[in-house]
Structure 1
Amino acid sequence: MTDRARPPVPYDFLPPVPGFTVTSTDIADGAVLAVDHVEDEHGSVSPQLSWTGAPAGTRSYAVTCYDPDAPTGSGFWHWVVFDIPGDVTELPRGAGSGDFAGLPAGAKHGRNDYNQQGFGGAAPPPGHGPHRYIFAVHALDVPVLGPDPGAPPAFVGFNMFSHTLARGLLTATYENKG
């Protein structure tokens, strides 16, 4: 992928919204993902995420992880979780994997592009170059977004479109040098 133009970030094509701060004890913006967040035969662990500065009127959140560099023509969705209550400002490590420990009551996982509910770690093709993993926290103006658990990422995103008040991004990278 190093000899090709990098695909755009999908949020660049949506109406602009204010930003807010997303941090993690597991990943740093611009840093390489740790092996815990890489898919292998045992799965992977979703990272801890925290956020601050969401606007007044936020009634719920959605969290997504997207790889725009996947060789699919449509990127690859690694995580979609929504209906996170508006008073929650953190997902602990593992909230999107295993037994979903720490996932807030009422939150729902959509289906990722591994066709699973929950977090699926990085898994770029060997030799494809570094991929970006965009963790986004979306502040929403509704307490319940509407899709059922297991909804596909595009449907969840369509429902978020007119309800997004603000968005915070944290981008990490990973390369499978295989």
Structure 2
Amino acid sequence: MSLERPIAPDPYDLLPPVPSFELTSEDVQDGQPMDAVFAHDSVGGDNVSPQLAWSGFPSETRSFVVTCFDPDAPTGSGFWHWVLVDLPTSVTQLPRGAGSDASGGAFSVRNDYGDRAYGGAAPPPGDRPHRYVFAVHALDVDELAVTPEASPAYVGFNLAFHTLARATLRPTYQVKD
């Protein structure tokens, strides 16, 4: 009898499709392991958010939301590592370490660590590599009409009604036994 968990679906495969645009990073690459600097301090990392930059989003974009989600967390509902809401369209990149700061009126809601900031990767030791889905959502509203007390799920629910396009990167991280 195998005790291996099935691979969770990509969260955006379960939502209505939207156009995509480009998301790049000097720090993380799609499908490639992240450096420990971007891991949570609970697993020996530095808990630093990676640099992100995006372009090619729809001209009618009025704001952005940046998220990081681990669909492979053994919770039944994944794990939210970062939810940065209401970035103005003048912000099209975040430098390394921006996960604890907000720009231009943006704010973070609590991640699943309980912090209003980026929380790095921390999969269970020995588990297979986890995917960390960094997404930039281009929205049709200036503000998403949520507060810093909103849950990541509530932000996600509201994103479903206002996302014009989405850009993603899916680096991985694994803690060895």
- Asked if these proteins are the same fold (TM beyond 0.5), I'd say yes
> How many residue pairs end up in the alignment?
174
Q: Which residue of 2 aligns with 1:71?
A: 74
Q: Is the 8 A contact 1:2 1:129 kept in 2?
A: no
Q: Is the 8 A contact 1:109 1:150 kept in 2?
A: no
What value does the CA root-mean-square deviation take over the aligned residues? 1.6
In structure 1, what residue type is equivalent to 2:159?
Answer: M
In structure 1, what residue type is equivalent to 2:38?
Answer: H
Q: Which residue of 1 aligns with 2:109?
A: 110
Give the Cα separation in 2 of the matches to 1:79 and 1:165: 20
- Flag structure 2 segments of 5+ consecutive residues without an equivalent: none
Q: Deviations over 1:99-131 (max 9, x none)?
A: x2xx31211101100011010000001111110
Q: Which residue of 1 aligns with 2:126?
A: 127
Deviation of 1:32 (Å): 0.6
Q: Which residue of 1 aligns with 2:169?
A: 170
Q: Is the 8 A contact 2:64 2:87 kept in 1?
A: yes
Give the Cα separation in 1 of the matches to 2:60 and 2:29: 28
Q: Which residue of 1 aligns with 2:33?
A: 32
Q: Which residue of 1 aligns with 2:155?
A: 156
Question: Does residue 87 in structure 1 map to residue 90 in structure 2?
Answer: yes
Moved more, 64-73 or 41-50: 41-50
Q: Which residue of 2 aligns with 1:21?
A: 22
Identity across matched positions, percent: 57
Deviation of 1:65 (Å): 0.3
Question: Does residue 61 in structure 1 map to residue 64 in structure 2?
Answer: yes
Deviation of 1:5 (Å): 2.5
Give the 4+ runs in structure 1 shifted more than 4 A: none
Q: Deviations over 1:58-87 (max 9, x none)?
A: 000000000000000000000000100012
Q: Is the 8 A contact 1:117 1:150 kept in 2?
A: no
In structure 1, what residue type is equivalent to 2:90?
Answer: D
| Distance change (3 Å), C-alpha of 1:152 and 1:65 | same
Q: Secondary structure at the match of 1:162?
A: helix
Deviation of 1:4 (Å): 3.5
In structure 1, what residue type is equivalent to 2:13?
Answer: D
In structure 2, what residue type is equivalent to 1:5?
Answer: P
Give the Cα separation in 2 of the matches to 1:138 and 1:26: 20
Q: Normalised by the size of structure 1, how large is the TM-score? A: 0.93
